[in-house]
Amino acid sequence: MAKKLSGFGIALAILLVIRLISSSIISFLVYPPELLYIVLFSSFIILYALALIGVLTKASWGSILVIVIAVFDIAIALFSIGTAPFATIFGAIIMDLILILFSYKEYKNIKRKKS
Convert the pLDDT of each residue in 4-46 to its tens digit: 888 899 999 999 999 999 888 877 776 677 788 788 888 989 9
Identify whether 18 is part of a domain. yes
Identify whether 98 is part of a domain. yes
Contacts of 6 (CB under 8 A, 6+ apart): 105, 106, 109
Q: How many domains is the chain built from?
A: 1
Identify whether 2 is part of a domain. no
Instruction: Tell me which residue of 60, 73, 43, 74 sits closest to 103, measured CA to CA.
Output: 60
Instruction: Tell me which residue of 30, 54, 32 sits closest to 42, measured CA to CA.
Output: 30
Q: Which domain holds residue 22?
A: 7-114
Identify whether 37 is part of a domain. yes
Identify whether 1 is part of a domain. no
The helix/strand/coil state of 37 is: helix
Confidence of residue 111 (pLDDT cuts 50, 70, 90): confident
**More confident call, 104 vs 84:** 104
Identify whether 63 is part of a domain. yes
